[in-house]
Chain A
Amino acid sequence: MEKELQIALVGNPNAGKSSLFNRMTGLNQRVGNFPGITVDKKTGKMPLPNGGKAQVLDLPGTYSLYPTSLDERIVLNVLTNRQHPDFPDLVVYVADVTNLGRHLLLLTQLVDLQLPVVLALNMMDLAEKANLTIHQDRLSLQLGIPVIKVNGRTGAGLEQLKIAALQTQKPRQPFTQPPPDMAHLIQEVQARIGLAHTYEALLTAHHFRNFPHLTEAQRAKIAQVVTPETFPSIKLQVEETIERFGKIERLVHQTIIPNPLKGEQDLTTRLDNLLTHPLYGLAIFFGLLFLMFQAVFAWAEYPMNLIDQGMGALKSSVDALLPDTFWASLITDGIITGIGGVVIFVPQIAILTAFIALLEEIGYMSRAVFLSDHLMRRFGLNGRSMVSLVSGAACAIPAIMATRTIGNWKERLITVFVTPFISCSARIPVYTVLIAFAVPAKYYLGWINLQGLTILGLYLLGLFAALGSAYVLQLILKTEEKSYLVLEMPQYRMPHWQNLGLTVWEKVRAFVLEAGKVILLISVVLWALASFGPPGQMEAAAKRARANHPNPQTQETAVAAAQLEASFAGQMGKLMEPVIAPLGFDWKIGIALVTSFAAREVFVASIATIYGMGEEADEQTVLQSLKNRKGADGQMGVFSPATAASLLVFYVLAMQCMSTLAVVKRETGSWKWPMLQLGYMTALAYLLSLLTYQILQ
């Protein structure tokens, strides 16, 4: 079989790359305005007119080959390393034709790298609206590459683009020449590590310290000739950029002719008069956040109840069908409980993702960054951190991945470090169950619910912990890097509803498949730990319980409780008890804490299993069940308000999510940061829970 043609999509942020990618591959992905939307490696297959297929890679949006963020570095590393597995046979360069002068800088650099490249002039619909005359042939001739008009939203021009892709050669001529006074040095670099192209050698001289594909020996060879004295990197970058833009401006002037407009009104300017206003803009921003939380709590309730009832019914019918055996117990108490614990979160996650994706789609997120940058900086963060903190209210994992657009290492690290303090949706069920214990359902002024106020307080506690920790970290961490914010404000536009739906679908699917796997597995492991014990001990415990409780009515529960205490899970909890006793926690809570580490929402399922409520494992019934036992079960069967409050504080602050730790490891490149995070958050949680319990008790 013939090798597939490898195509890389490259372009500035907001060039419309993602929509075109969807059109090319038919794979449905998200389209958005917010920079960094394509940070993950996205690939797809595209059929070609000759019957073959191409593999298309959507690279992160970037402005030039002089990277300032992690995203941009990925593009540089792929395109300058001919041995890279993703090195393309062909680049499709996507540019916004209505703003072509700004979009061509990176293209001219690719031309000078002598990469085979096609220029796709995107947003042709807007060009027609703006009444532009485009001399496509002149542009193609002067750049030395094919130029195709496309519309990423409708797919117009795609067939011509595919035909051009099959015929594309290297650019006919370079766009610029390296500076003459560097010619000798560039020859040296070329000779020393064997590079064919002069611009590649020039880029190597700029970046060799950070190029992952060079060996130490090669770096040493380059360092012999490239020193700050012989090669003033910044000065050369500035001169190169000015030279390129000068040539680009002349080129665009000759090829894109603006015609008089027919009285267009500037919607973005008018909207931003309100939305970026220091007072009204901020008020609207907080109003939107409030609406978002309201939606998560209020609207998600109905579907969640339905799911709950459905799972309960499923379990009873399976229970009735199967004989009372090991397998029946595994299926109902292990597997169905586990699946229920996953599915119950779908409504909340769907609503939150839909909200955040909508704000991104219409272009509002950049305004949120603009409004919050100044405040965030006092805590050593960046306006872009706000996006992560807000997303963290849904789930810390996508929130931490979104930090890649923060160019400054220190600000990015602090954001990654403190985001898990923001109460994620997985904490909601834990809060719901525990608040009912610690807080009476009183009303003030007729409508302010005390329990609702407590939830708000817990979110605020998380936010304060995040900002306070950021403030401290900012004082500790040292960096030479300058902090900056150069933020493009995309024009407002109507959302693509189809894209929005797909985004939500993808996030929910990822949660169910990725997090769900872990939760289900833990649920089964937990069931096993609670059902088995060291040889002989389970039977002995059951025997003793039977002897002590001759009354057949109480005997069954007593036996179950005794067996659980003797099981592996009981042993683990007891091992922990001395450590967590000062917080008001007993060994049963200890088990729940351990299992919560898989995912916090497992807490409710764990408590249900531990207290032998396999058949009634939703929050309301767990709650009822725990409350009803208050009188009957004297031996630490229930939580006192002080214990519940202490547990709440613990769940706000503790790092209890292995998936988050795994993501932090991936994003920071080592185990150092996730381990520090785990230690710090757990210590803080322990101290404040201790304080809470000792005061309330």
Chain B
Amino acid sequence: MKTVAQLKRGESGTISAFRDMDSAMKLMEVGLLPGSKIKIMRTTPFGGPVYLKFGQSYLALRLEEADNILLEA
């Protein structure tokens, strides 16, 4: 299944679910929920954090956290 970590710069997706619920709370609190549409603004080389936009918000996540977010096919 595709995750946010696999998206390239400029690509978009819709969140379907989270792999690990323990870590999902922090993402959900800021409004990243199943159904949210996200767009990748920037990825960084060597596995650094990703920078994404959803709604009117801009957010940076580590790659592991991005990998926790599953996308709709």
Contacts and interface: CB of A to CB of B under 8 A. Distances in A.
B56 to A, nearest CB: 5
Interface stretch (A40-48, A163-171, A292-300, A479-487): A479-487
A406 B22 CA distance: 18
Interface string B19-30: 001111111111
A98 B51 contact: no
B66 to A, nearest CB: 11
Contact of B57 (A63, A64, A102, A374): A102
A451 to B, nearest CB: 37
A488 B49 contact: no
B54 to A, nearest CB: 9
Given A98-B56, A234-B22, A489-B60, A278 B30 contact: no
A487 B60 contact: yes
A241 B23 contact: no
Contacts of A374: 44, 46-49
Given A276-B51, A366-B60, A486 B31 contact: no
A98 B57 CA distance: 10
B15 to A, nearest CB: 12
A238 interface: yes
Given A272-B41, A484-B62, A238 B51 contact: no
B7 interface: no
Given A373-B62, A486-B61, A102 B30 contact: yes
Interface string A233-252: 01101100110010000000
Interface in A60-83: 63-64, 66, 68
B51 A278 contact: no
B46 A102 contact: no
Nearest to A483: B62
Contact of A489 (B25, B48, B51): B51
Contacts of A272: 41-42, 51, 58
B18 to A, nearest CB: 8
A238 B44 contact: no
Interface in A458-500: 482, 484-491
Interface in B4-56: 21-31, 33-34, 41-42, 44-49, 51, 53, 55-56
Interface string A102-120: 1001000000000000000
A208 interface: no
Contacts of B58: 268, 272, 488-491
The residue among A276, A369, A383 with the most chain B CB atoms within 10 A of its own CB is A276
Nearest to A98: B56
B31 A102 contact: yes
Contacts of A485: 49, 60-62, 65
A490 to B, nearest CB: 8
A276 B42 contact: yes
Interface string A252-292: 00000000000000001100100011100000000000000
B48 A245 contact: no
Contact of A278 (B22, B27, B48, B53): B48
Contacts of A484: 23, 26, 62, 65
A245 B28 contact: yes
A210 interface: no
B57 A238 contact: no
A102 B47 contact: no
B33 A245 contact: yes
B64 to A, nearest CB: 8
B30 A488 contact: yes
Contacts of B41: 269, 272, 276
A489 B62 CA distance: 14
Contacts of A245: 28, 31, 33
Nearest to A266: B53
A99 interface: yes
B51 A486 contact: no
Nearest to B39: A269
The residue among A66, A105, A487 with the most chain B CB atoms within 10 A of its own CB is A487
B56 A99 contact: yes
A64 B60 contact: no
Contacts of B55: 99, 101-102
A491 B58 CA distance: 8
Nearest to B25: A237
A238 B27 contact: no
B65 A370 contact: no
Interface in A352-376: 366, 369-370, 373-374
A64 to B, nearest CB: 5
B21 A370 contact: no
Contact of B60 (A237, A268, A370): A370
Interface string A386-420: 00000000000000000000000000000000000
A238 B59 contact: no
Nearest to B54: A102
A383 B61 CA distance: 11
Given A98-B56, A491-B58, A105 B29 contact: yes
Contacts of A276: 41-42, 51
Given A98-B56, A235-B21, A242 B34 contact: yes
Given A272-B41, A278-B44, A485-B61, A370 B51 contact: yes
A373 B44 CA distance: 11
A70 B28 CA distance: 19
B63 to A, nearest CB: 9
A490 B57 CA distance: 8
The residue among A234, A242, A485, A486 with the most chain B CB atoms within 10 A of its own CB is A486
B48 to A, nearest CB: 4
Nearest to B26: A486
Contacts of B60: 366, 369-370, 373, 485-487, 489
A250 B59 CA distance: 23
A460 to B, nearest CB: 23
A486 B30 contact: yes
Given A235-B21, A276-B51, A489 B45 contact: no
A373 B48 contact: yes
Contacts of B61: 485-487
B20 to A, nearest CB: 9
A112 to B, nearest CB: 16
Given A102-B57, A276-B42, 16 more contacts: A102-B30, A105-B31, A234-B21, A241-B25, A245-B28, A277-B42, A366-B60, A370-B51, A373-B48, A373-B49, A373-B62, A374-B46, A484-B26, A484-B62, A487-B59, A489-B58
The 5 closest A-B pairs by CB, nearest first: A374-B48, A489-B58, A102-B31, A63-B29, A487-B60
11 contacts: A99-B55, A102-B55, A105-B29, A234-B22, A237-B25, A238-B25, A366-B60, A373-B48, A373-B49, A485-B62, A487-B49
Interface of B: 21-31, 33-34, 41-42, 44-49, 51, 53, 55-62, 65
